[in-house]
Structure 1
Amino acid sequence: MQIHKLCFLALLLLLAHTASAVNLNLKSSNIAFLGDAELGPAADGISRSGALSMTRDANPFSHGQGLWSLPVPFKPSSNSRSPYPFETSFTFSITPRTNPAPGHGLAFIVVPALDNSGAGPGGFLGILNKTNNGYPSNHVFAVEFDVFQDKHVGDINDNHVGVDINSVKSAVAEKAGYWVQTVIGKRRMWSFKEVKLSNGERYKAWIEYRNSKVTVTLAPEAVRKPKKPLIVAHVDLSDVFLQNMYTGFAGAMGRGIERHDIWSWTFQNSAKK
C-alpha cells in the first residue's frame, strides 16, 4: 500500500526593504486535522489521494477543518489596527456521492484558534453553528464555495461564492463563475462564464486582501487567472483579525454524501519573519 503525503507549498513573503522569501513545505505533520478532516482516500479506498479532505463519506453530517498548525501573524502587534496584506490561492474539488447533489460546501478560513468545537455541519460549513453565528467575538474570516441554498443564512442560490465575516451569512456573494475578455473589432468585451462547483472538477481560487478590500477570483484549474475578479468586497478586517491567527480550510455536508478536497495551496503575507 502506497501512502501519498499531503504536500502544500506555503510562502510568507517579506515585503520590507530588505525583503527575502521564506519557503515552507507543508506535509501532513504541519496540518492540524480537526473534526473529520483527513488525508483523503483514493478511489480504491486503501491508498491516499493526495488531497486534504474536509469530510468523510461514512460520517453523517460530516464536517471538519484542516489548518496550518502554526500561528500566522496577521498584525504587527496586538495594539495594531492595520492587518498585513495577504494573498492565497488553492485548487479544490467538490464531488457529490449521492443524487441529487447533497451539499454543502467548503471555505478558506482564518480563525483565532485550533479548535472547531463551535463548528457545525450543513449550511454552517464546518465554520460556526447556530448558537455563535454572527457574533463579532468570533474573529472569523472566510470565503465560502457553497453548493446548497440554505435560506436561513441568506444564500443567494445553490452555486455561489461568498465573503463571510464572523458569520456564514455572506457580506458579499456572487454566483460561481469567471470573467473572460474578448476583443471585438477595437472593443474589449467581458463575458461571464458560470461554473458548477459541485461537478467534481478541479477549480482554482485566488483571494487577496489589501487596503480594506477583498478580491476573489475563480476559474477552472486549466485556465489562467482571469484579470477581472469575481468579487470585489470593500471590508475592513482590522477588528476581525487578531495579531496571530490560524488559516486553512473548512467543509461540511448534510444528509447526503459529498467530498470536499483541497489539492494544492499557497499563502503569502507581508509579515516580517
Structure 2
Amino acid sequence: MATFSIHSYPFSFNLQILIFLFFTAKPVSSFALQNNPNFDPYISLFGDARVENGSSNVILTRSHAPSSGLLLLDKPFKFVGEPVSFSTEFTFSLSPGNADGLALVFVPNGFQARFTSQGSFGLFGENMYLGIEFDTQKDDKVGDFNANHIGIDINSLESIKVSNLSSSSMVLNNGEPLKSWVDYDSSSKLLQVRLSTFDSKRPFSPILTYSIDLLEMWGTKDVFVGIISTSINGSSFSNVYSWRFRVRHVLNSMHSLPANPHKDSDGFRTGKNKFCALTFLAGLIFGTGCGALFAFVVLFMWAILVSRHSVFPVECQVSPEDFRYEMVDVVVEKDNQFDKN
C-alpha cells in the first residue's frame, strides 16, 4: 500500500490548494434563488444560510448553537445625490426556541466577512449600522422588555424605538409565516415598519415609525442590505420565503411616498382600497350635487330668457253695447215775408 508523507510533493501541493480555496472562497450564490421569482437576483448566502434540495426558501440557522446565516444583496447603493427612498418586503418564519430572531440590516462594506462571530444579529462591535430587529429573546443588557418585539437599532443593540407585539396578539416565534414591509421616504425622512400574518394584506397603519435622515447618517458610503438571523444560546430554525428590495431616486421637486416593490402585490391594498372607496363615494356625492346645481342654474336662466323674448296673448273681453236708431224730423218754416213778395 502506498503511503504519503506530509512532506511529499503531491500532498503538500493539494494542501496548498485547499488552503488557498478556503481563504479565497466566495459566498454561495444559490441558483435556486436566481431562478426564484420570490427573491431578488444577485443574493449571496453567508454562514449557515442554505437552500435545501427541493425547497424554494432559505434556511438561515441550523439546529446547533451557535448558528448564524446571512442573506445579502450583492449590489450596494448610496444615499448621496438625488433623494433616495427604498421599499422592501420579505416573508419569514421563526420556530419556537431560545434564539435571537431575525433582523433586516443596513451595513457598510466588509460586514459580510465579520458577522458570524459578533453576537446577537452579528452586529456586536459594529459602529455603524441600521437594524430592524424582530427579536425573540429578552436581553436585559440592551434593555429588552420582552421576547416578542420589533425594534429599531442605530449603531447599538439597544433599540431606540420598540413596538411590543404581545399587545397586538402577534407572536414572532410560533413557526407561522409572517410578512413585513419596511419603507423609507427621503422627503419626509420617515422610516416605517409594517407586519402581518402571511395570508393578510398589507396593513394601512405601520406598527413602528421613526424619523431619521439616512443621507446624513451614511453620507457617501456604500450601503449593503441583508437579512440576518442568529442563534447564540439556543437552537431554532429561521426561514425566509421571499425578499424583494427596491431603491427609488426621487427628484427634488417631487414628493416621494412609500411604495410597495410590486405594484400588483399586496402593497397598500387594505388601506388603499378603503381610501379609494371613500374617495369614490365622496366624489360621487360631490359630482351629483354639482350636476343638480348646474341643471338648476340652466333651467333658471332659460326661464328668464324665454320670459323676456316671448309675447303672451292678452284676452280683451269686449262687452256688447246696445245700439238704437232714432229718426230726427227736421221742419223748415218759410218766412211769410218772402211769401208776400
What TM-score do the two structures reach when normalised by structure 1?
A: 0.71
Partners of 1:123 and 1:155 in 2: CA distance: 16
Q: Does 1:167 align with 2:179?
A: no
C-alpha displacement of 1:117: 4.0
CA contact (8 A) 2:47 2:116 kept: no
Partners of 1:38 and 1:70 in 2: CA distance: 20
Q: Does 1:109 align with 2:105?
A: yes
C-alpha displacement of 1:221: 0.7
Partners of 1:241 and 1:197 in 2: CA distance: 30
Partners of 2:144 and 2:171 in 1: CA distance: 16
**1:74 corresponds to which letter in structure 2?**
F
Partners of 2:67 and 2:215 in 1: CA distance: 32
Alignment map for 1:81-160 (pairs within 5 Å): 84-96=84-96, 101-119=97-115, 124-126=120-122, 128-129=123-124, 132-133=125-126, 135=127, 138=128, 140-160=129-149
1:174 match: secondary structure: strand
Q: Does 1:31 align with 2:43?
A: yes
Map Cα deviations across residues 167-215 of structure 1 (whole Å, 9 max, x no partner).
22111111127xxxxxxxxxxxxxx632110011001101111122111
Partners of 1:121 and 1:204 in 2: CA distance: 28
Cα 1:125/1:8, change in 2 over 3 Å: farther
C-alpha displacement of 1:110: 1.2
Counterpart position of 1:16:
none
Query: Which has more helix, going by share of residues?
Result: 2
Q: Does 1:230 align with 2:207?
A: yes
1:73 match: secondary structure: coil
**1:75 corresponds to which letter in structure 2?**
V
Q: Does 1:55 align with 2:33?
A: no
Partners of 1:261 and 1:241 in 2: CA distance: 30
**1:271 corresponds to which letter in structure 2?**
H
Counterpart position of 2:182:
207
CA contact (8 A) 1:34 1:115 kept: no
Partners of 1:9 and 1:221 in 2: CA distance: 14
Cα 1:70/1:168, change in 2 over 3 Å: same
**2:76 corresponds to which letter in structure 1?**
P
**1:61 corresponds to which letter in structure 2?**
P
Counterpart position of 2:80:
75
C-alpha displacement of 1:54: 2.0
Partners of 1:175 and 1:222 in 2: CA distance: 21
2:217 match: secondary structure: coil
C-alpha displacement of 1:104: 1.0
Partners of 1:34 and 1:240 in 2: CA distance: 26
Aligned pair partner of 1:239 in 211, 216, 222: 216
Higher RCO (CA 8 Å, separation ≥ 6 residues):
1
**1:67 corresponds to which letter in structure 2?**
L
Partners of 2:180 and 2:201 in 1: CA distance: 11
Segment drifting more, 141-150 vs 231-240 = 231-240
Counterpart position of 1:184:
none
What TM-score do the two structures reach when normalised by structure 2?
A: 0.58
Counterpart position of 2:169:
194
Alignment length (residue pairs): 216
C-alpha displacement of 1:8: 4.9
Q: Does 1:218 align with 2:185?
A: no
Cα 1:242/1:63, change in 2 over 3 Å: farther
Unaligned 5+ segments in structure 1 are 11-24, 42-46, 77-81, 178-191
The structure that has the greater radius of gyration is 2
1:125 match: secondary structure: helix
Map Cα deviations across residues 130-167 of structure 1 (whole Å, 9 max, x no partner).
xx25x3xx2x1111100010111121210000111112
Unaligned 5+ segments in structure 2 are 1-29, 251-341
Map Cα deviations across residues 33-58 of structure 1 (whole Å, 9 max, x no partner).
2222222x3xxxxx243222221224
Cα 1:62/1:85, change in 2 over 3 Å: same
1:238 match: secondary structure: helix
Aligned pair partner of 1:271 in 244, 249, 260: 249
Query: Which has more strand, going by share of residues?
Result: 1
CA contact (8 A) 1:61 1:122 kept: no
C-alpha displacement of 1:271: 3.4
Segment drifting more, 67-76 vs 150-159 = 67-76
2:202 match: secondary structure: coil
C-alpha displacement of 1:119: 2.8
CA contact (8 A) 2:194 2:205 kept: yes
